[in-house]
């Protein structure tokens, strides 16, 4: 992932009821939500129950509906479930998550996040910044912080 962006912003899932009529236009069809989401964010964190229930056809559609630079980060789940074979689909093992994920809802301190981004830049590894609650205002602030910092 060395040629990819350093900071990738997103939420846990892309279907948040509070986003209707605000983040998402009122008349946007449900099957276009992911396509729209991927124009504003660079990644999504998927709970195990969601990604494991998705068929191969659904995964193919999700990958088709998103840019080549968009990532799906998967919560670890059932050992029998195999993640889709794509470089854009990453399994967030506890060790990987500790090095690559910042949860906004647990630490919304923007100064601390800026310090973490600076630290992460020294490794060249990506940092995924996610909101579990889907706080659209906070996610917008993070996209602004990312721009201000040059990432």
For the chain, what is the mean pLDDT? Answer: 92
Residue 89 φ then ψ, to 5°: -115, 115
Query: Facing residues of 78 across strands?
Result: none
pLDDT of 108 reads 83
Instruction: Read off the pLDDT of each residue in 7-23 and give the average, rounded to a whole number.
Output: 94
Q: What is the DSSP letter of 81?
A: P
Instruction: Read off the pLDDT of each residue in 60-77 and give the average, rounded to a whole number.
Output: 96
Instruction: Read off the pLDDT of each residue in 69-76 and give the average, rounded to a whole number.
Output: 97
pTM value is 0.92
Instruction: Read off the pLDDT of each residue in 130-136 and give the average, rounded to a whole number.
Output: 94
Helix (H) or strand (E) segment spanning residue 127: strand 127-131
pLDDT of 83 reads 84
Query: Other C-beta atoms within 10 Å of 58: how many?
Result: 13
120 pLDDT above the threshold of 80? yes
Separation of alpha carbons 1 and 88, rounded Å: 10
132 pLDDT above the threshold of 50? yes
High-pLDDT (> 90) share of the chain, %: 84
pLDDT of 82 reads 79
Strands (DSSP E) found in 18-105: 43-46, 71-74, 89-91, 101-103
pLDDT of 1 reads 39
pLDDT of 13 reads 97
Instruction: Read off the pLDDT of each residue in 26-46 and give the average, rounded to a whole number.
Output: 96
Query: Facing residues of 45 across strands?
Result: 12, 73
| pLDDT tens digits along 39-63 | 999 999 999 999 999 999 999 999 9
pLDDT of 96 reads 96
37 pLDDT above the threshold of 80? yes
């Amino acid at each position: 992932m060395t040629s990819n962006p350093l900071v990738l912003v997103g939420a846990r899932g892309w279907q948040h009821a509070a986003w209707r009529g605000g983040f998402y236009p009122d008349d946007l069809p449900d099957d276009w939500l992911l396509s729209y989401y991927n124009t504003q964010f660079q990644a999504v964190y998927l709970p195990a129950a969601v990604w494991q229930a998705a068929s191969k056809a659904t995964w193919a559609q999700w990958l088709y509906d998103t840019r080549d630079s968009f990532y799906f980060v998967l919560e670890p789940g059932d050992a029998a479930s195999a993640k889709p074979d794509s470089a854009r689909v990453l399994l967030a093992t506890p060790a990987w998550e500790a090095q690559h994920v910042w949860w906004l809802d647990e630490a919304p301190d923007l100064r601390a996040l800026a310090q973490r981004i600076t630290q992460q830049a020294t490794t060249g590894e990506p940092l995924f910044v996610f909101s579990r609650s889907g706080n659209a205002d906070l996610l917008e602030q993070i996209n602004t912080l990312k721009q201000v910092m040059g990432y």
